[in-house]
Chain A
Amino acid sequence: MSAIPTIVVYGLREALRRKVFAVVLLLTAGFLFLYWLANHYAFRDISGIDAPLGIDARSYAGAFIFGLAMFATLFLGVVLAVFLTLGTVRGDAERGLLQPLVVRPVGRSVLLFARWLGAVAVCTPYVVAVYVGAMLITGLTGDWWPDRIVVPAIELAGGVAIVAALSLLGSVFLTATANGIAIFMVFGAGLVAGLLGTIGHALSSHALEHAAKVAAWIVPFEALYQDALRQITANTTGLTGFVLQLGPFGGANTGGPGVRLWACGYFVIVALGAAAGFSRKDL
Chain B
Amino acid sequence: MTAALGVTGLEKRYGSTRALTGVDLEVGEGELVGLLGPNGAGKSTLVKIACGLVRPSRGRAEVCGARAGSLEARRRLGYLAELFRFPGWYSADELLALHQRLSGSTGGGAERSELLELVGLAEARDRRVEAMSKGMQQRLGIAQALVGAPPLLLLDEPTSALDPVGRRTVRLLLEELRGRGISVLLNSHLLSEIELVCDRVVILLRGAVVAEGSPAELGRARGVEVETDQGTEVFEGKTREDVPALVAELVATGRKVYGVRALTSTLEETYLEAVGGETS
Contact = CB atoms under 8 A, between A and B. Distances in A.
Nearest to B144: A100
A105 B75 contact: yes
Contacts of B83: 96
Interface stretch (A6-14, A82-90, A182-190): A6-14
A280 B87 contact: no
User: Which of A3, A10, A13, A282 gathers most chain B CB within 10 Å?
Assistant: A282
* Interface bin, chain B: 20 to 34
A17 B79 CA distance: 26
A2 interface: yes
Nearest to B75: A105
Interface stretch (B99-107, B225-233, B266-274): B99-107
B77 interface: yes
Nearest to B147: A104
Contacts of A10: 87, 98
B53 A95 contact: no
A97 B84 CA distance: 6
A129 interface: no
Contacts, number: 68
Interface string A1-31: 0110011001001100100000000000000
Contacts of B72: 105
Nearest to B95: A100
B85 A97 contact: yes
Contacts of B139: none
Interface in A32-82: none
Contact of A104 (B55, B81, B88, B102): B102
A280 to B, nearest CB: 7
Contacts of B54: 282-283
Interface in B67-111: 71-72, 74-75, 77, 79, 81, 83-89, 98-99, 101-104
B51 A103 contact: yes
Contacts of B144: 100
Contacts of A105: 71-72, 74-75, 102-104
Interface in A85-114: 95-97, 99-107
B196 to A, nearest CB: 27
B14 to A, nearest CB: 8
B85 A101 contact: no
Contact of B79 (A2, A97, A100, A107): A100
Nearest to A99: B81
A283 B87 CA distance: 18
Given A6-B98, A105-B103, A105-B104, A100 B84 contact: yes
B52 interface: yes
A89 to B, nearest CB: 12
B112 interface: no
A96 B53 CA distance: 12
Given A6-B102, A100-B144, A107 B87 contact: no
Contacts of B85: 95-97
A271 to B, nearest CB: 20
A95 B144 CA distance: 18
Given A280-B55, A282-B53, A283-B54, A103 B79 contact: yes
Nearest to B97: A6
Interface of A: 2-3, 6-7, 10, 13-14, 17, 95-97, 99-107, 280, 282-283
24 contacts: A2-B104, A10-B87, A10-B98, A14-B87, A14-B89, A17-B89, A96-B83, A97-B87, A99-B79, A100-B81, A100-B141, A102-B53, A103-B52, A103-B53, A103-B79, A104-B74, A105-B71, A105-B104, A106-B102, A107-B71, A282-B53, A282-B55, A283-B48, A283-B54
